[in-house]
Structure 1
Amino acid sequence: MSESLIRPAPSSTPGAPPGPGPTTRTRVGLLGTGPWAAGTHAPALAAHPGADLAGVWGRRPEAAAALAAAHGTTAYDDVDALFAACDAVAIALPPDVQAPLAARAAAAGCHLLLDKPLATTVAGAREVVDAAARAGVASVVFCTLRFAPGTAEWIAGQAAAGGWFTAHARWLGALYSPDADSPYAASPWRGEKGALWDVGPHALSVLLPVLGDVTSTTAARGPGDTVHLVLRHTSQASSTVTLSLSAPVGAAGAAVELRGTAGVAGMPSWGDGVTSFGAAVDALLHAVRTGKPHPCDAAFGLRLTEILADAQALLDG
């Protein structure tokens, strides 16, 4: 699979063996039917010039049927049948549902376009990494800021500049504010795991490529699900991170500021989710064609899970 994106085109009957005839476009199956899948993944895949949205599978068959119909593709009741009809899968599911299905997709020969966090246990994340390695499939974890127009270039530029002394990342969401109205507030896994696991990967995905891996972690709780982290990095720089899904609506917002020999650098605003996800699709296709792992692959997703799990243990200790 790692040498080619091309499989025989699927038959029109879900679960039937692939029919004859090659396709020059990558067939990507979508796992998930929630607001993130419907608002970002599906439209980005449907519009991508190098991909075909080959089918949709979800834990709610009626939702999968509706999302598939909206984009002119097939709903699958059997996830393994979808794997058999695809070159790659994009997953928009809770992390601990994602991980075993991603490992299963890799074993079926599908390249992986994964959501963050990869899993909320180190063992679950490692299962995905090991399965991808055994199967020789490519992987990309969709950490939005690593692919969004504006921020992707900014991160690369700050990493190249170096000389950073310290950084502060702030990601304050208002999902659980009484004045908020977000479809993600009903997400069971977000309610259980909170900001550390939901928006923590966003902050870490910016800090690690610029400041280096994390060598030590301190963690403290704030109001609601708010978490404060103090990190030391391999570059010897330190960073602080504030994460919350419980902020008042007027206090919500995200920012990263770096300070060092080059002065002060603030992260710019970023583009919409559909455009960013399209760039992640590009990154996966490039990794498949070249055989070169993307920096934001499943192994990076595993490292994020390790750091977050260390922080969680400190908070629980």
Structure 2
Amino acid sequence: MTSTDALRFGLVGTGPWALRTYAPTLAAHPHTEFTGVWGRRPEAAAELAARHGTTAYDDVDALFAACDAVAFAVPPDVQAPLAARAAAAGCHLLLDKPLATEPEAARAVVEAADAAGVASAVFCTLRYAPVTSAWITEQASVEGWFTGRADWYGALYTPGDDAGVRASTPWRAERGALWDVGPHALSVLLPILGDVEALTARGGPGDTVHLVMRHASGASSTAALSLTTPQAAGGTAVELRGTAGVLTMPTGGTAQESLAAAVDVLRESARTGVASPCDARFGLRITEILAGAERSLES
């Protein structure tokens, strides 16, 4: 850390998520120094850097050398090898979800972070939003859960949506809801119900995937994941049933508020050396589960 106890943060990525969420949050956070930006499109990096009064780097390794921590807003299979390089350079890691779409790539990030002794946090938004993170922590301490249900019905790729979003994030269109919103569902269900011990996946309309899971606690859960839902049918819900009754997850907050909280969690992990609950190792586990779901779909 710098002498002011602020983390010098670099940003990798120049797409919509970097533009709307990461860059403004890093620039406004009271305990970060927004050191610079690198992107695969130098002109976009220069434009984003100018907007926030920071530096555009042509060389990603030069950005790593100038930073204490690096945030990633790039596709998962671009993120993983760059994150391993950043860790090797001694940078703490603020990672986007999913960490990777191949377990081997995700495992390489974990190994690099462990070897360098750097902290990591994976930005699953619900794990950091004040309302939902508090609810998840509270329910994780409750015994007797019987089953859970997580529904993520999005309309990102239905006719009439924002074609610009599709064009700017092609990996989402290619990999579908399983990899885009699947991490959100798992980031809520796993802390409460335990690790997934068995899983079956089946496809539905469009990119819709239905998961049926058995957890280490003995509870079961289902997850419905879609980015091709009709506009009128979209929505997100998480429900738990058990001896405590039927509980529904509250919602609220913005992505920037969640990211600011994730920055705080990473700072605390870097300061104490204590791993955060939603770190790269947790991101690896999500990748392993989703890869297993993909194999189940193929079979």
TM-score by length of 2: 0.98
Measure, in 1, the Cα distance between the counterparts of 2:209 and 2:106.
Answer: 22
Aligned residues: 298
Instruction: Report whether the alignment pairs 1:246 with 2:228.
Output: yes
Q: Once the two structures are superposed, what CA deviation does each residue of 1:222-275 show, in whole Å capped at 9, x if it has no partner?
A: 000000000000000000000000001111111100000000110111210001
The one-letter amino acid paired with 1:29 is: G
The question of whether the paired residues in 2 share the 8 Å contact of 1:120 and 1:309 is answered with yes
Residue pair 1:118, 1:125 contacting (<8 A) in 2 also: yes
Matches within 5 A, 1:112-151: 112-151=93-132
| Aligned match of 1:219 | 201
Q: Which residue of 2 aligns with 1:157?
A: 138
Q: CA offset at residue 164 of structure 1?
A: 0.6
5 Å-filtered alignment, 1:1-317, equals: 5-6=1-2, 22-181=3-162, 183-186=164-167, 187-317=169-299
Q: Which amino acid aligns with 2:208?
A: T
Q: Which amino acid aligns with 2:134?
A: E
Aligned to 2:14, what secondary structure does the other structure show? Answer: coil
- Counterpart of 2:250, as a letter, is P
Report deviation, 1:23.
4.5
Asked if the contact 1:143/1:205 (under 8 Å) is kept, the reply is yes
Pairwise CA distance, 1:188: 1.5
Match of 1:14 in 2: none
**RMSD across aligned positions (CA):** 0.9
Q: Distance in 2 between matches of 1:209 and 1:165?
A: 15
**Residues 101-134 of structure 1: CA deviation (Å, up to 9, x unaligned):** 0000000000000000000000000010000000
Structure 1 counterpart SS, 2:176: helix
The answer to which of 177-186 and 239-248 deviates more is: 177-186
The alpha carbon displacement at 1:183 in A equals: 4.1
Secondary structure class of the residue paired with 1:150: helix
Q: Percent identity among equivalent residues?
A: 68
Deviation sequence 1:144-201 (CA, Å, 0-9, x none): 0000121000000111112110011000111111122264322221111100000000
Cα distance in 1, alignment partners of residues 84 and 36 from structure 2 = 19
Give the aligned residue type for 1:135: A
Other structure's SS at 2:130 match: coil
State the alpha-carbon separation in 1 of the partners of residues 164 and 298 from structure 2: 28
Amino acid at match of 1:233: H
User: What secondary structure does 2:35 align onto?
Assistant: strand
Deviations 1:58-110 (A, max 9, x none): 00001001110110100001000000000000000000000000000000000
SS at match of 1:49: coil
In structure 1, the gaps of 5 or more residues are 7-21
Using the alignment, how far apart are the partners of 2:74 and 2:123 within structure 1?
A: 12
- 1-structure distance, mates of 2:143, 2:200: 24
